[in-house]
């Protein structure tokens, strides 16, 4: 870290870049695809920013509509950085589709795409005695389900089905439940040299949620934050830093112009005078999950199938997003943004 940070509660650089993603207001659009691997981010844009912490944000227009693709890596902590820091760089609605890979728990071939209607969290219980076993604690906790945004999910599923190329033989499943685990191994029932007490975890999950179809590591947290923002107006401590042009060591294809967006909002649901924004901004989220591994047959997807399924789904999520209506008063202002048409 090279830059002076003034606020420990919500760190930003002096030129208003959020600490981990490295972006600032005007560099991320209301419609967002989030992926795990940078290679999955397609070339939609002249603006690409790779942060010191491994996040990549690509922003531009797809069919004329501003869109961002944000590559976040793996797991709940990265998903948390993504939602919270993007939210603070954006006014209006944040409409997110996660495009990721997953393990399949149902009898479908690898290459199938699942658009879950809901997700549960599977977390390791750190109070469990993993060395000796424990009669008082359970080794894993399974949360209640949280729903995907129903309109976005239906639009995503319909677009995936409509755009599936004839060369792809696998289909779309959209009436299932996902489980997002806090690890790839123990909390997904995989056996390693650690005594994880997870031999019956998948059976337990299926017994609690009969429609369970997929296991991965991010969707629950994104849906959960979306469903819980905002319950009430939150207050973020503000700083008034001097203007500077110092970057947060981003690598950009095109250096952005100085931000004309001013200070970021200190309270995301209110304006500068403290009045509630009307309409109140929302976070709407859904996911498309490509089955890379079958946990029933132990099949793993081939590189050729990955390429075909990613080409299909990458285009479909962009199509679904740009076709998803956001009212004009729920959009981030174009002036000063990296997608501004001049």
Positions touching ligand R1P (CB under 6 A) are 35-37, 74, 100-101, 184, 216-218
Task: Give 13 or 180: the residue with its C-beta nearer to ligand R1P.
Answer: 180
22, 2 contact by CB (below 8 A) = no
- Rounded to the nearest 5°, which phi and psi values hold at 179? -120, 130
Least spacing, CB of residue 99 vs ligand R1P, in Å: 7
Smallest separation, CB 278 to ligand R1P (Å): 36
Min dist. Cβ of residue 107 to ligand R1P (A): 21
Nearest residue (CB) to ligand R1P, 3 versus 182 = 182
Least distance in angstroms from the C-beta of 251 to ligand R1P? 21
Q: Could you tell me the CA-to-CA distances from 187 to 91, 198, 211 in Å, in that order? A: 36, 7, 19
Number of residue whose CB is nearest ligand R1P: 36
Q: Of 37 and 158, which has the nearer Cβ to ligand R1P? A: 37
DSSP 287-322: EEEEEEEETTT--B--HHHHHHHHHHHHHHHHHHHH
CB of 50 to ligand R1P, least distance (A): 17
Q: Which is nearer to ligand R1P, 192 or 253 (CB)?
A: 192
Which CB atom, from 130 or from 184, has the smaller least distance to ligand R1P? Answer: 184
Buried b (16+ CB within 10 A) or exposed e, 136-164: eeebbebeebbbbbeebbbbbbbbbeeeb
Nearest Cα to Cα of residue 286 among 103, 131, 159: 159
The dihedral built from the CA positions of residue 278, 89, 72 and 64, taken in this order, carries a sign that is positive
DSSP-derived secondary structure letter, 250: -
Closest to 23 (Cα-Cα) out of 41, 49, 45:
49
What's the angle, vertex CA 198, arms to CA 196 and CA 203, rounded to 5?
175
Whichever of 35 and 94 has its CB closer to ligand R1P, that residue is 35
Q: How far is the CB of 30 from ligand R1P (least distance, A)?
A: 22
């Amino acid at each position: 870290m090279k830059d002076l940070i003034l606020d420990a509660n919500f760190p930003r650089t002096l030129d208003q870049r959020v600490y981990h993603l490295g972006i600032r207001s005007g560099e991320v659009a209301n419609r967002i695809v989030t992926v795990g691997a940078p290679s999955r981010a397609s070339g939609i844009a002249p603006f690409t920013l790779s942060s010191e912490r491994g996040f990549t944000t690509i922003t531009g227009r797809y069919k004329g509509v501003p869109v961002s693709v944000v590559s976040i890596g793996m797991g709940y902590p990265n998903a948390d950085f993504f939602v919270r820091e993007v939210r603070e760089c954006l006014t209006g609605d944040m409409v997110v589709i996660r495009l990721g890979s997953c393990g399949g728990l149902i009898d479908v071939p690898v290459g199938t795409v699942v658009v879950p209607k809901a997700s549960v969290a599977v977390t390791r219980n750190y109070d469990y005695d993993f060395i000796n076993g424990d009669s008082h604690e359970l080794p894993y906790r399974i949360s209640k389900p949280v729903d995907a945004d129903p309109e976005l999910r239906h639009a995503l599923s319909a677009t995936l089905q409509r755009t599936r190329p004839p060369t792809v033989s696998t289909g779309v499943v959209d009436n299932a439940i996902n489980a997002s685990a806090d690890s790839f191994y123990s909390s997904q029932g995989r056996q390693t040299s650690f005594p994880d007490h997870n031999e019956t975890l998948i059976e337990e999950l299926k017994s609690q949620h009969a429609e369970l179809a997929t296991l991965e590591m991010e969707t629950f947290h994104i849906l959960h934050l979306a469903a819980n923002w905002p319950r009430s107006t939150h207050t973020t401590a503000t700083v008034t830093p001097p203007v500077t042009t110092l970057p947060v060591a981003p690598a950009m294809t095109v250096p952005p112009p100085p931000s004309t967006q001013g200070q970021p909002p200190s309270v995301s649901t209110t304006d500068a005078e403290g009045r509630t924004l009307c309409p109140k901004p929302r976070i709407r989220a859904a996911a498309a999950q490509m089955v890379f591994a079958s946990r029933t047959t132990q099949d793993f997807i081939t590189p050729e199938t990955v390429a075909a399924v990613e080409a299909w789904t990458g285009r479909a999520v962009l199509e679904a997003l740009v076709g998803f209506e956001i009212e004009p008063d729920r959009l981030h202002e174009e002036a000063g943004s990296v997608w501004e048409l001049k």
